[in-house]
Amino acid sequence: MNLDTSIIQLAIVDDEQLIVKLLEGFFSQQAETEVVLSAFSGEEFLERLADFPNKIDVLLLDMRMKKLDGIEVTSFLKEQYPAIHVIVISSHYKKSFMGYMLKTGVSAFLPKGILPQQLLEVIKAVYEKGYYFLPEQVDVMRTQIAPKAPKPKFSLETTFTAREKEILQLICQQKTAQEIADKLFITKRTVEGHKNNLLSKIGVKNTAGLIIYAIKEKIVDVNSLHIL
């Protein structure tokens, strides 16, 4: 995505109304961002989300809220709206939480004391690359990895969801995102979200890499493809 020509659609969820209003005011004044949804609880956000399924690029989310907390909201989004990137901003921030937050599916984890301008840079990085790590978080994650950690052995059953496998096979058939969406009765944006997850899991940069991987791992039969 070209950040110079694309406006990042934001949602903000925090049970502290002052924080929501301050962030909403700041980002509404930035050329790169537009706030399309703000809410004061996880429940309110999910109730209103159905009205904005294809408009939210990045969600700024508080971690500790009454009833439905940020972790529960993130887990729901990763299952139902995988294209939405989640940035958790918390007054309970600890760098040692980063490993857990990654497992949950957040794209960035930040302390609430972060400056608005720095937060804007994080949002742009997440929008462009899908993630952002503070330097201290990278160091912590290194220490959390066992020194003699075994080389990972990937299997299709444990690495991909059934939906991701289905989309990967359709990509190999040279179906467009819209064609895949029509075939599976989902949105184009959801397809693109699953494709981004596949790129991240497999560790490749483009569709060609996905196809090569699928052929190599025998996810698809090369004889059934019509690759020019």
CATH number assigned to the domain comprising residue 128: 3.40.50.2300
Q: Is residue 3 part of a domain?
A: no
Q: Is residue 227 part of a domain?
A: no
Is the Cβ–Cβ distance between 3 and 127 less than 8 Å? yes
Q: Is residue 2 part of a domain?
A: no
Same domain as 214, residue 118: no
Same domain as 124, residue 54: yes
Same domain as 197, residue 87: no
Q: Is residue 204 part of a domain?
A: yes
Tokens standing for 94?
A: 């600890």
Q: Is residue 188 part of a domain?
A: yes
Residue at 75: amino acid letter: S
Q: Is residue 225 part of a domain?
A: no
- Select from 88, 110, 144 the last residue of a domain: 144
Would you say the pTM of this structure is higher than 0.85?
no
Q: Is residue 151 part of a domain?
A: no
- Select from 91, 122, 144 the last residue of a domain: 144
User: Rounded distance, CA 208 to CA 13, Å?
Assistant: 37
Same domain as 80, residue 169: no
Strands (E), the chain: 8-13, 33-39, 58-62, 85-90, 108-111
- The tally of domains found in the chain comes to 2
**What is the span of the domain harbouring residue 12?**
8-144
Q: What letter would DSSP give residue 95?
A: G
CATH number assigned to the domain comprising residue 207: 1.10.10.10
Residue at 44: amino acid letter: E
**SS3 state of residue 11:** strand
All residues at 6 or more sequence positions from 210 whose CB lies less than 8 Å from its CB, including other chains: 168, 171, 172, 195, 198, 199, 202, 204
**pLDDT tens digits in sequence order for the chain, 228 residues long:** 334 447 999 999 998 899 999 999 999 999 999 999 999 988 999 989 888 767 899 999 988 777 777 888 888 888 888 889 999 988 777 766 776 777 777 888 888 888 999 999 999 988 888 888 877 776 666 665 555 545 444 554 447 888 888 999 898 887 888 889 999 998 888 898 888 888 888 877 777 778 878 877 778 766 555 444
Q: Is residue 1 part of a domain?
A: no
Same domain as 185, residue 111: no
